[in-house]
Amino acid sequence: MLVVKLLSIRYFRIAIIFTVAVLVYIVLSFWEFNTVKKELKTILPVGMCSVTRQSPTKTIHRMRILCIILTSGESQDKMNAVNGTWSKRCDKKLFVYSSAIESPLSPYTIHLPVPESYEHLTGKVRKTLEFVYQQCNDSFDWILKCDDDTFIVMDNLRHMLAGLDPQKPAYLGFRLNPAFGKYDEYVPRGYMSGGAGYVINSRALHDVVNTGFKRGACREDGGDEDVEMGKCLDAAGVPMHSTLDSEGKETFHLQSLHYHLTLKNETVLQQPPKDALNSGPWGEKCCSNYPVSFHYVKPVEMYMFEYLLYNASVHMSDNRDSGHL
């Protein structure tokens, strides 16, 4: 009897432990499920995917562009400058932070479960593209990715994209050469500079998520973001389109305007980047009359660009060549 009683007590304790373990597992699973569910629901701001497709005249379809802008907790001035200047012309915009950063409350910010550092930009971009694809489906015709020190002339970008079908995959930007340095074996066709900004359309987004990402053609995080995205877009078969204008000049610029204008091809110590695949000129005749982007733009310069492009006018006279107004 004593043995039976002891066994009964032992089994009873085991049953209690097992029951508690099951309950803990259920509670933790439920918490994790709801956390993920909540994250999936709130990762994009409310109304982010609600974009009208008709133009104000209601006679033609309007091009819908989402601007994805990578930023950080140390870049409040940059975010304010971008928010107050060129990004006003995006249909929707997202300032992408890591979850470790406390950003100001804004309907345009998202926080991703990615550490905050340059080494994790790939993770930021991949997760943002995945969430946009999952939650917005085909709400946007084009997606622009750039940094918070990039100035985009949205009107010129729209003009460039106007002749392209968003349902035929396309990838545009300042094209860099894979034959330079360590990237030779990874992106045979080259890739677009992340700092100059690059654009993909809705079909390219579908292809890179469902083919490039799922095949593991590029890293989930780490490496150089623009190189990794180039690898996955290449694996997905997304074609590149030239962004040189009719005169062979650059429209996307991976450096500052001052750098492009003052760099001379014959300069010994400062040659144009050897990894630049586009063959546009450098120096005074470097840039298109219809530029799309410039990189390394300081916050104060954002407002200067905005004023000069959209507010300033010049009274031209017959003495144009003399340099006098």
Task: Judge whether residue 270 has pLDDT over 80.
Answer: no
Quick one: pLDDT at residue 64? Answer: 93
Render the burial of 102-137: b for 16+ CB within 10 Å, e for the rest.
Answer: ebeeeebbbbbebebeeebbbbbbbbbbebbbeebe
Rounded Cα distance between 248 and 270, Å, is: 22
Place of tokens 């990874």: 186
Q: What angle do CA 151, 232, 250 make, to 5 degrees?
A: 35
| Per-residue pLDDT reduced to its tens digit, 198-241 | 999 999 999 999 999 999 988 888 888 999 999 999 999 999 99
| Per-residue pLDDT reduced to its tens digit, 36-89 | 334 433 456 656 676 655 444 544 457 899 999 998 867 788 989 999 999 999
Query: What is the pTM assigned to this prediction?
Result: 0.77
Domain range 65-310, its CATH number among 1.10.10.60, 1.10.3080.10, 3.90.550.50, 3.40.50.300: 3.90.550.50
Quick one: pLDDT at residue 261? Answer: 84
Tell me how crowded residue 299 is: count the other CB atoms within 10 A of its CB: 18
